[in-house]
Every structure is written in C-alpha cells, then in structure tokens.
Amino acid sequence: MNERKKTRTVRIGSVAIGGGNPVIVQSMTCTKTEDIRATVEQILMLEEAGCEIIRVAVPGEEAADAIPEIKKQIHIPIVADIHFDYNLAVRSIRNGADKIRINPGNIGSADRLRSIYQTAGEFGIPVRIGVNSGSVEKDLLDKYGAVCAEALVESAMRHIEISQDLGFDNLVISVKASHVPLMIRTNRLLSEKTDFPLHLGVTEAGTVQQGVIRSAIGIGTLLAEGIGDTIRVSLTGDPVHEIRAAFDILRALEMRKQGVTLISCPTCGRTEVNVEDIANQVERALTHIKKPLTVAVMGCAVNGPGEAKAADIGVACGKGSALLFRHGEIVEKIQENEIVARLVKEIEQWDND
C-alpha cells in the first residue's frame, strides 16, 4: 500500500473529502427524483447500508424543485447531477443541493459555466467536474486519434483551468471510463497533475457480479497506490449493492473498518457440513452490523482456529457439529443445526456491547 496522496479538502455538506480524510462512499438513486416519497425511501435504505453522500438525477425543473423536501427527510449530503441545462444547476443550488456534478463539455459556453460557478460560490458549495470517455471533445479526439488517458486528462485539466479563470476552485474531479485499464491509467496521470480531490469509479461497470469485479480492480488498484478520495461502485440494479461493494473494497485494503469481514474456506473433500450454505446465511444475517468485525466460517480442523487467528469470532465445522471460537480460543461445541443461529447471536451480543 502506498501512502495516500494529500489533496485539498472539500466539504460537501457535513462531509469532508480529500485532505487525508477517510475515503468516502457514495451512490446515486435510480428513482425519479421528483417522486419524493420513492427517492427518500431509497436514500434512507442507502443510509442504513452506510452511504455517506447521495447523488440524484436532475433532468428537469420538477426534479430540481424536489430537492428541498428530500433534504428535510434525509441525513446525508445530496448532490444534483446536471447535464446540458445550466439553469438546472443554478436552480438546484438555490434549492439546497450540497454539491453539483456537471460535465462541462455538455453545458456549453463560458457564460453558462460562469453562472453555475458564481451561484455555487455564493452558496459555498463545491462542483464536481466529471469527464467520461464517451464525451471527450472533438478537438482532443482529433489531436490524439482516439479516446486515451492523455485526451481524458487534458479535457479535465482544460475544465479546471476554465473554472479557475472564472474565479472558482472549490472542485472535485472525476475522470471515468468503462474500460478498466483506461480508467486506471487516466487517474494515475490525473493525480500527477492536480491536487484537487479525485472521485473514482468505473462508469457503466455492469451487473452486480461483473460490475463488482471490474470496480474492485479499477478502484482498488488506484486506492492501493494512494490515489482517490471518494468512490462510487456503479452497478446495474439496487444501489444498496453499490454501498456494500464499496465498503468491501475499502475493508479489503484496510482503509475503512466498518462492518463485517467474512472469512470462509472454499471447501474440499474433508468438509462434513454445508459450509457454503452456512457462510451465505451468516453473511446475509450480518449486513446490519456496523462495528468492524472479522468472522470466520471454516469447514474442518485444518482450516479451523489455527488458520483463522485473525478472526474475532468464528466456527470450525466438523461432522455434525462445530467449535465456536473467539480470537483463536475455543469457547464451546455446538450442533450443526445450531451453527448459524449461535454464531449470529454471539456476533449481535458483541455488537451491542
């Protein structure tokens, strides 16, 4: 693990990113923002999963005007996602958005950008400049011949310079691509050129299975190199999966300690119980645990307390039974049909201490 790059500190509502603060996890709703009830309901579920910043789509005035009522009912900062219409950005800021996300390339003239930046400055909120591989300016495509890391970074740096020329530098930067190696190369290069906080993500990563893998490789590689201040795992489906995957990445890198890290053996011919079923049941039962905890589900004496000494709590299964252990020390023997319930009870008792 490389030491994290020290970037500028930017505040989004009550949350600070960059400047050595913890890597912050965010997501985006998939509801119609103007459907206030549905949007609030989804945000509250994301909050429960650990989401720390939420972004909502603002394709029209009705969505922008829903922001004040949504804010009253949630507990995390809200970001308005704007494309094409600068008036929606201004309207969202005036309605209480804690940050604006724009792709300057589709906003238009400098005067339109100036209106956004002036209003953001007046209300003291940051703007995320988001550049995607699918929206690189034509002159840069002509210059480089194709979408590449250099073109994406030049686009981002161009828009940073424009914002600074317009007197605004309360910025977060993201440069995303669906091609994982391109996303990694681009953010490495961008990190060398700017000290603004970087938002990491693999755009259009895909369904839960493929999207988690691609995001873990792209985001995880950069975080391990000390690059990145906030992340979103973009998945097709329920955004709660995004939060769980993001914290899984951060826990794997030991960058955030929230929630349960489950260690389970891959099973082999020595197993005498259904380890896969036990591990899956335990994992599902522990999604609400917020304290950091390492839990082990081992299939036999070989992969028992000896190989899981790092676990706080766990079981080593044998024929029709299992040994419950804490920090490598055996506590008691339990029957196979009691394994899941007993282990979950032990963990919940620990969580309530």
- The whole-number pLDDT of residue 220 equals 98
Give the C-alpha separation, 324 to 332, whole Å: 5
Over 70: is that where the pLDDT of 4 sits? yes
pLDDT in tens, 229-246: 999 999 998 999 999 999
Does residue 2 lie within any of the structural domains?
Answer: no
Q: Return the pLDDT at 136.
A: 85
Q: Is residue 3 part of a domain?
A: no
One domain for residues 298 and 213:
no
Does 126 have pLDDT greater than 90?
Answer: yes
Please determine, for residue 303, whether its predicted confidence score (pLDDT) is greater than 80: no
DSSP notation for 194-232? --S-BEE-BTT--SHHHHHHHHHHHHHHHHHTT--SEE-
Confidence (pLDDT) at 218? 98
Per-residue pLDDT, 118: 96
- Residues 35 and 74 grouped into a single domain: yes
Mark which of 221, 252, 283 sits at the end of a domain: 252
* CB 265, CB 275: distance < 8 Å: yes
Percent of the chain's residues with pLDDT above 90: 64
Which pLDDT score is estimated for 305?
62
237 & 303 share domain: no
Q: Which domain holds residue 347?
A: 260-352
Shared domain check, 141 and 48: yes
Taking 80 as the threshold, does the pLDDT of residue 93 lie above it?
Answer: yes
Residue 39 included in any domain = yes
Band of residue 57 on the pLDDT scale cut at 50, 70, 90:
very high
The residues pairing with 24 across neighbouring beta strands, listed in sequence order, are: 230
* Residues 147 and 264 both lie in one domain: no
Domain count, the chain: 2
Predicted confidence at residue 352, as pLDDT, reads 74
Q: Which helix (H) or strand (E) holds 351?
A: helix 339-352
* pLDDT bucket at 116, cuts 50 / 70 / 90: very high
Assign 278 a pLDDT band (cuts: 50, 70, 90): confident
Length of the chain: 353
What is the arithmetic mean of pLDDT over 47-53?
A: 95
* pLDDT of 323 strictly over 70: yes
Residue after which a domain boundary falls, among 193, 223, 252 = 252
Q: 127-170 pLDDT, tens per residue?
A: 999 998 888 888 998 999 999 999 999 999 999 999 999 999 99
79, 56 Cβ separation under 8 angstroms: yes
Whether 240 and 277 map to the same domain: the answer is no
User: Quick one: 92 and 220 in the same domain?
Assistant: yes
Residue ending a domain, among 199, 221, 252, is 252
* pTM listed for this prediction: 0.90
* 1 domain-assigned: no
Q: Note whether 97 and 196 are same-domain residues.
A: yes
Per-residue pLDDT tens over the stretch 167-226: 999 999 999 999 999 999 999 999 999 999 999 999 888 899 999 999 999 999 999 999
Q: What is the mean pLDDT of the chain?
A: 91
78 and 203 in a single domain? The answer is: yes
Q: Is the pLDDT of residue 307 over 70?
A: no
Place 46 in a pLDDT band, splitting at 50, 70 and 90.
very high
Residue type at position 257? K
Q: Tell me: do 63 and 202 sit in the same domain.
A: yes
Q: Round to whole Å and give the CA distance between 178 and 221.
A: 15
* CATH number of domain containing 276: 3.30.413.10
CA pseudo-torsion sign 57, 61, 64, 67: negative
Burial of 184-201, coded b for 16+ CB within 10 Å and e otherwise, reads: bbbbebbbeebebbbbbb
Classify residue 54 as exposed, middle or buried by CB count within 10 Å of its CB (0-12, 13-18, 19+): buried
Do 74 and 162 fall within a single domain? yes
Residues 100 and 224 in one domain: yes
